[in-house]
Amino acid sequence: MNEAEARLEIEQLRRAIERHDHLYYVLNRPEITDEAYDALMRRLAELEQAFPHLITPESPTQRVGGAPAEGFATVQHRTPMLSLNNAFSLEEVEAFDARIRRLLDAETLEYVVEPKIDGLGVSLSYERGIFRQGATRGDGELGEDVTGNLRTVRSLPLRLQAPVSCEVRGEVFMRKEDFARLNARREEAGEAVFANPRNASAGALRQLDPRVTATRPLDILLYSIAFLEEDTLPEGWSVPTTQAQVMELLRALGFPTTQHWQLCSDIEAVLAYCDRWQNERSALPFEIDGVVIKVNDLSYHERLGSTARSPRWALAFKFPAQQAISVVQRIEVNVGRTGVVTPLAVFEPVQLAGTTVSRASLHNEAYLREKDVRVGDTVVVQKAGDIIPEIVSVRLDLRPADSEPYRMPTHCPDCGSELVHLDEEVALRCVNRNCPAQAVEGLVHFASRNAMDIEGLGPALAEQLVKSGLARGPGDLYSLTWEQLAQLERMGPKSAKNLVRAIDASRQRGLARLLYGLGIRHVGEGTARDLAAHLGHMDALLSATEESLQALPDIGPRTAQSIVEFFARHENRKMIEQLAEQGVLMSAVAEQTQGSVLTDKRVVVTGTLSSLSRKQVEELIRQHGGTVTSSVSRNVDFVVAGASPGSKLTRAQELGIPVLDEETFLNMLRGENA
């Protein structure tokens, strides 16, 4: 291949990848499988390696992050990034409207409203459609140049849908599920956890090494245009005159924007929007702390102007914190599947974000000392990201006079082995590989939905299997008989036979889910899928070296070392042999996604289904070519609703979106296979 041919194919590949990034991250309707997308990326990387002088900063391959920086350069914002004035009650929102109408001598005003994401504000500059620079807000006038880190954010377009020169503003954040997974990985690895998604996002964006940022699940949504070079707009495109048109232009250019923004015809509609999201904030996939309210007409922005720190045409309505007061009854320690010992505060049950909570992780010894939580303390409890219970603070004024600091145990509560800190980790670990607690947690993880999905094998049963000696590890599960299981407490013949069937069905889950189920340190679901896609069979992993693993995309030194060490252990190789002898599939499985009844369909699942778990339904949708989405919008094709569907069903009915019950959904799939 000569240079001209390479240049042409490289440009075609970049355009294809950019298009699929836009479909996936902005429109939420992917057209190709992950494997097909990876093949495009691999081919582009091969060509760029052969012709390195053709690599450009906006190439999709450059998202992995460059060399570490010694420090951040300072960036002067073209226009100041101002803060918003806050309102803490609906009465203050009404007063804001009255004040603005008085200044403008207007009887009524239109507003654009959107959820206020609790993230980190950034400014992005594009020249002729190419991403050139990104900066943090800083002090509003000067920010830090974090261009290299922002390139790693997959939802941020490196090239726009049109060659427009502009400066746009947005929010970098982490979705709740991604944040929970990140903290779980860090806790399991003995690393310090993040207090909330905002702190995690800010820390990731300000890493001096972009390669570290690339490992963090950052996302971005854009909400304003600070500068637009009008003569770069394509013919037929209009300069926006309203905030609603700004949102539409951002979307047309390929930027991700929130689908929950709304144009309100008057302040009553604004108040209804604020009230709705104050009650439904937990339904969003990201954390919000309020609602942003903006006058729609941009000419009014000019007339109203700004104070030294805030625009007069916008307001942030802040939600009250969802917190509760409780009393710590005891502090327990839990031994995880990798031996990490985690302290847990058990307190009197309280209601938070619609659920009852009675315990919160204290993460590790350093965190426990910092918070100084003691038995008998009165504590303030909240849900981080409306998901994870956490202790915010201790009411020292209510602390009992005889209270004493809690001291972490020196020995494992399950096996009695001495607890140690490995490699200067924050976490304490039990390093006894025969520890019963680790065996129990390992079985629970192996059987979990995202791993081998063995329905019925939960913590209580796993504990019985270990204590009775029937199973110490995953390799023992596939030789169990229903007669053996029926002898266990609360396990009759019918339940025992169902469990044996579930274990048998799990043999065909494939390499990716098996690898995740094995619980290898630093190997999460995504890494397990990558390993299965690139290597194809367990044999390739058994013979892999650290160097060969690091040659794979997104496999760093620590992960490679952990994988090699895992498969170097005699007991682990014996377990793999045992699993293979029992008929557990050791190769990757390909999913059927083309030409299906659900191909290119966006589906929401809500409520409780009778014959399938939520995870099973979502897997069926993906296997048949559909995309699972968490929120109901006009872009959704239909909703699968079970018992107690909640607000998602109501929203679907309001929008006229077809709603399928469980039987209709399954019949539709059966009809396809008939």
SS3 per residue for 327-370: EEEEEEEEECCCCEEEEEEEEEEEEECCEEEEEEECCCHHHHHH
Banded pLDDT at 403 (limits 50, 70, 90): very high
Residue 28 scores a pLDDT above 70 = no
CB 122 within 8 A of CB 172: yes
The strand pair at 166-173 and 120-127 is best described as antiparallel
pLDDT of residue 626: 76
Residue of 116, 176, 294, 371 with catalytic role: 116
Residue 116 scores a pLDDT above 60 = yes
Helix (H, G, I), strand (E, B) or coil at 150: helix
CB 461 within 8 A of CB 492: no
Residue 618 scores a pLDDT above 90 = no
Q: Quick: pLDDT tens for 272-316.
A: 999 999 888 888 889 898 999 999 999 999 999 998 788 999 999
Residue 619 scores a pLDDT above 90 = no
Region(s) of the chain under CATH 1.10.150.20:
436-581
pLDDT of residue 591: 45
SS3 per residue for 607-634: CECCCCCHHHHHHHHHHCCCEECCCCCC
The CATH number for 3-55, chosen from 3.40.50.150, 1.10.287.610, 3.40.50.970, 3.40.718.10, is: 1.10.287.610
Task: Kindly calculate the radius of gyration of the chain based on its CA atoms and give it in whole angstroms.
Answer: 27
pLDDT of residue 142: 87
Region(s) of the chain under CATH 1.10.287.610:
3-55
Element housing 559 (H / E)? helix 557-568
More confident: 19 or 162: 162
Nearest to 654 by CA among 630, 629, 642, 636: 636
Helix (H, G, I), strand (E, B) or coil at 443: helix
Helix (H, G, I), strand (E, B) or coil at 669: helix
Residue 385 scores a pLDDT above 80 = no
At the fourth CATH level, the homologous superfamily of domain 602-673 is BRCT domain (3.40.50.10190)
Region(s) of the chain under CATH 3.40.50.10190:
602-673
Phi-psi map region of 238: left, alpha, beta (phi>0 left; psi -120 to 50 alpha) = beta
How many whole angstroms separate alpha carbon 669 and alpha carbon 673? Answer: 7
The CATH number for 86-318, chosen from 3.40.47.10, 3.30.870.10, 3.30.470.30, 3.10.580.10, is: 3.30.470.30
Phi-psi map region of 416: left, alpha, beta (phi>0 left; psi -120 to 50 alpha) = left
Tell me how far the alpha carbon of residue 38 is from its chain's centroid: 20
Banded pLDDT at 123 (limits 50, 70, 90): very high
Helix (H, G, I), strand (E, B) or coil at 42: helix
Structure tokens at 255: 């930027």
More confident: 673 or 531: 531
pLDDT of residue 291: 96
pLDDT of residue 342: 92
116 catalytic? Reply is yes
- Give the Å distances, CA to CA, from 425 to 192, 255, 312, 345, 364: 9, 40, 49, 22, 10
Residue range 390-402: mean pLDDT, rounded:
93
Structure tokens at 135: 């900066």
Residue 670 scores a pLDDT above 90 = no
CATH class as words, domain 323-411: mainly beta
CB 627 within 8 A of CB 601: yes
pLDDT of residue 229: 95
Element housing 212 (H / E)? helix 210-213
Q: Quick: pLDDT tens for 3-27.
A: 888 899 999 999 888 888 877 766 6
CATH fold group of domain 436-581: DNA polymerase; domain 1 (1.10.150)
Banded pLDDT at 395 (limits 50, 70, 90): very high
pLDDT of residue 257: 95
Residue range 29-37: mean pLDDT, rounded:
75
Q: Could you please report the per-residue DSSP string of 250-317?
A: HHHHT----TT-EEESSHHHHHHHHHHHHHHGGGSSB-EEEEEEEESBHHHHHHH-B-SSSBTTEEEE
More confident: 128 or 592: 128
pLDDT of residue 24: 72
Residue 321 scores a pLDDT above 80 = no
Residue range 41-69: mean pLDDT, rounded:
78
Phi-psi map region of 372: left, alpha, beta (phi>0 left; psi -120 to 50 alpha) = left
Residue 347 scores a pLDDT above 70 = yes
Phi-psi map region of 386: left, alpha, beta (phi>0 left; psi -120 to 50 alpha) = left
Region(s) of the chain under CATH 2.40.50.140:
323-411
Residue range 236-262: mean pLDDT, rounded:
95
Burial 180-210 (b: 16+ CB within 10 A, else e): bbbbebbbbbbbebbebbbebbbebbebeeb
Residue 170 scores a pLDDT above 60 = yes
